[in-house]
Amino acid sequence: MNLRGVFIEDTFAEAFTMRVARILITGRSARWAREAALNLTGFATSVIGCKCEAAIERELPLRESPDGRPGISVLFMTMGKDDMGKRLIERIGQTVLTCPTTACYDGLPEAPDRVGVGSALRHFGDGFQISKVLGGERFWRIPVMEGEFLVQEKFGMQKGVGGGNFLILARSADAALEAAEAAVDAMSSRTGVILPFPGGVVRSGSKVGSLRSKTMIASTNDAYCPTLRAVTTSALPEQVNSVLEIVINGTDAPAISAAMRAGIDAACRDGVLAISAGNYNGKLGPHHFHLREIMGGGEPA
Amino acid sequence: MSEGVVARLRQRLRHQADLGEVLAGGWTGLGPSELAVRPVYLEGSGTVPLGELFDLRGEPAGRIRFEGDLARADRLAAGLAEGEVIVEGSVGAQAGLGMAGGTLRIQGSAGPLAGAAGPAARRGMTGGELIIRGSAGAETGARMRRGLLAIGGQAEAYAGHAMIAGTILIFGDAGPDVGLWSKRGSVVALGAIEIPATYRYACTYRPAHLGLTLTRLRARYGLPVKKRHFAGRYHRYSGDLADLGKGEILEWTAE
């Protein structure tokens, strides 16, 4: 299958079930809402090293803002239920509570699984905190030097999907980066989808385990490293000199499929030779995103 | 979606009617014929079934709409725990007395003691939302423990008297002695208010929780929330310092 001269490999991205929460952050201005969101989602690229994966989902239109102020929606993902509460308390406590003018709300009110966040952070108020119940939901007003920090008591959590991906195999590093940037632009601000890596792009795709160390759970994906073509079992076609990966997490598989379709379509441009995807032969993750099926040109492998 | 049950007053009430038993306990699954037998105490006549005073129609959908002049109907939605009650006009005294949940929307004005505690009760409303688009009589929200009470017009004296917790928003002017003897709870004054001497000024700021509450009141109930209510600041007064002192009055200011 070719798309504008770019070969779409007959393969699939293999993704995992994760837990996802949607965090809504509002602030006096879009600047401060974004500042808190960027800090909340900093160092949250991969559960391997960060214990969570998170990124900005989109800016909220004012009509969707819980308190009428500029807001940002964040998707926050962990591997298990138990992790979610710990990570949210740590991160919201250190990055949103501390950020001027912000407030923090649950963005998954229908999710039956609820994890306490404000119920723990309220103790920072040292007994001066005030509870308010609105629409059946409890909120905590925590006095801070600036004024008050408002945080919802519980946040919804549901199953999500982490690890959707595709690889851009390009003639040069410049071409790979341009294609990746175009893909990210096409995939950003979609409801239900985040790209947790820097700028939405990964240059260091990994394989499971290591050729030399038994303790490493992941190491460089040597089959896709152009500099190792001559010394390893390479998966790279001729003329490929650079590979970038886009990793996509989401609230559900259809959201990821739709984002991959838009991203791959945007990435198929001059200088790109092929689009591939990372998988573990279907042994590890239950969600399989077949590239040709997603792009409308083939049956599931 | 069904509009639920509609209760239209058959003829103008000539005497006070006590509707306190009509919506107490579970009612949202009841149809017109079942609600029609619920008792009403009519001054001068004794107990009569609701159906004698109101023409009821519709089907159960968790909502009941009262139509007609109910200015002489007292204790409407007293003890309300579920569902949505809409009153197209004004109501008498003690509407939503001690309500624990659900929503009571009064499109007109309410008499005294709306959302307050009954004579022998320690607590007023303990949950739910009571929305009065018009004005409210004296002691509205007295001894309320939880919930949201919004008044689109003016509030007479002693609103939030001896509040234990909860929130009262007054869009119009507030009468004297608002929040007197309160332990906790918030009174938000968007119009003129005289701060009781037993409250002490704390600061002037923009409380984020008010944005949340005002957004809900505008979106859900169409209350006249203005841009200035979001953009303005609020003087915070702590009180009543003659009691526990953990309550507050938030006074809107254009400063």
Looking at the complex, does the CB of residue B206 fall below 8 Å from at least one CB of chain A?
Answer: yes
Count the domains in chain A.
2
pLDDT of residue B1: 59
Mean pLDDT of chain A: 95
Does A10 share its domain with A70?
A: no
Question: Which residues are CB-contacts of B11 (< 8 A; sequence separation ≥ 6)?
Answer: none
Please check whether residue A299 lies inside any domain of the structure.
Answer: no
User: What is the tens place of the pLDDT at every residue in A150-187?
Assistant: 999 999 999 999 999 999 999 999 999 999 999 999 99
Looking at the complex, does the CB of residue A62 fall below 8 Å from at least one CB of chain B?
Answer: no
Please check whether residue A90 lies inside any domain of the structure.
Answer: yes
Does A229 share its domain with A112?
A: no
Q: Is the CB of B212 less than 8 angstroms away from the CB of A148?
A: no
CB B163 within 8 A of CB B144: yes
Q: Is the CB of B212 less than 8 angstroms away from the CB of A65?
A: no
User: What is the tens place of the pLDDT at every residue in B137-167?
Assistant: 999 999 999 999 999 999 999 999 999 999 9
In sign, the C-alpha dihedral spanning A152, A157, A161, A162 is positive
High-pLDDT (> 90) share of chain A, %: 93
Name the residue with higher pLDDT: A124 or A281: A124
Does A154 share its domain with A173?
A: no
> Which two structure tokens, joined as six digits, stand for A100?
């001027």
- Among A29, A62, A130, A152, the strongest candidate for a mutation testing the B interface, having the largest count of B CBs within 10 A, is A130
**Closest Cα in chain B to A140:** B209
**Closest Cα in chain A to B212:** A67
Whether the per-residue pLDDT at A276 is higher than 70: the answer is: yes
Question: Which residues are CB-contacts of B18 (< 8 A; sequence separation ≥ 6)?
Answer: B40, B41, B42, B43, B74, B75
Interface TM-score (ipTM) > 0.85: yes
Whether the per-residue pLDDT at B122 is higher than 90: the answer is: yes
Does A44 share its domain with A7?
A: no
AA letter at B49: P
Domain's final residue, options A130, A158, A186: A158
Please check whether residue A206 lies inside any domain of the structure.
Answer: yes
Across-strand partners of A25? A72, A104
Calculate how close chain B gets to A85, using CA atoms only, in Å.
23
Over range B109-116, report the average pLDDT: 98
Question: Which residues are CB-contacts of B22 (< 8 A; sequence separation ≥ 6)?
Answer: B35, B38, B39, B40, B50, B76, B77
User: What is the tens place of the pLDDT at every residue in B25-74?
Assistant: 899 999 999 999 999 999 998 999 999 999 999 999 999 999 999 999 99
Looking at the complex, does the CB of residue B185 fall below 8 Å from at least one CB of chain A?
Answer: no
Please check whether residue A301 lies inside any domain of the structure.
Answer: no
Q: Is the CB of B215 less than 8 angstroms away from the CB of A130?
A: no
Does A90 share its domain with A149?
A: yes
Whether the per-residue pLDDT at B172 is higher than 90: the answer is: yes
Q: Which residues of A touch B207 (CB under 8 A)?
A: 141, 147-148, 150
Please check whether residue A213 lies inside any domain of the structure.
Answer: yes
Please check whether residue A300 lies inside any domain of the structure.
Answer: no
Q: Which residues of B touch A150 (CB under 8 A)?
A: 207-209, 212
Instruction: Using CB atoms within 10 Å of the CB of residue A22, give its burial: 0 to 12 exposed, 13 to 18 middle, 19+ buried.
Output: buried
Q: Which residues of B touch A104 (CB under 8 A)?
A: none
Does A209 share its domain with A290?
A: yes
Whether the per-residue pLDDT at A275 is higher than 70: the answer is: yes
Task: Among B146, B165, B216, select the one facing A135 at the smallest CB separation.
Answer: B216
Helical residues (DSSP H) of B58-201, grouped into ranges: none
Whether the per-residue pLDDT at B92 is higher than 60: the answer is: yes
Across-strand partners of A220? A206
Q: Could you list the residue range(s) of the whole structural domain that residue A101 is in?
A: 18-158
Task: Among B209, B215, B230, select the one facing A132 at the smallest CB separation.
Answer: B209
Whole-number Å distance between alpha carbons of B157 and B196: 12
Whether the per-residue pLDDT at A67 is higher than 70: the answer is: yes
Please check whether residue A289 lies inside any domain of the structure.
Answer: yes
Whole-number Å distance between alpha carbons of B187 and A58: 35
Whether the per-residue pLDDT at B3 is higher than 90: the answer is: no
CB atoms within 10 A of CB A154: 18
* Cα angle for residues B181, B238, A144 (degrees, 5° grid): 145
CA neighbor of A170 nearest in space, from A4, A6, A2: A6
Does A164 share its domain with A150?
A: no
Does A240 share its domain with A204?
A: yes
Give yes or no for a cis peptide into A67 (omega within 30° of 0). no
User: What is the tens place of the pLDDT at every residue in A102-146?
Assistant: 999 999 999 999 999 999 999 999 999 999 999 999 999 999 999
Q: Which residue has the tokens 């001066």?
A: A128
How sure is the predictor about A301, in pLDDT bands with cuts at 50, 70 and 90? very low
Over range B227-232, report the average pLDDT: 93
Mean pLDDT of chain B: 96
pLDDT of residue B254: 87
Does A180 share its domain with A150?
A: no
User: What is the tens place of the pLDDT at every residue in A199-257?
Assistant: 999 999 999 899 999 999 889 999 999 999 999 999 999 999 999 999 999 999 999 99
Calculate how close chain B gets to A149, using CA atoms only, in Å.
8
pLDDT of residue A297: 60
Calculate how close chain B gets to A73, using CA atoms only, in Å.
16
Q: Is the CB of B215 less than 8 angstroms away from the CB of A147?
A: no
Q: Which residues of A touch B127 (CB under 8 A)?
A: 133
pLDDT of residue B184: 96
Domain's final residue, options A102, A130, A158: A158
Which one-letter DSSP state was computed for residue A263?
H
Looking at the complex, does the CB of residue A67 fall below 8 Å from at least one CB of chain B?
Answer: yes
Does A136 share its domain with A198?
A: no
Does A41 share its domain with A151?
A: yes
At A153, which CATH number? 3.30.70.520
High-pLDDT (> 70) share of chain A, %: 98
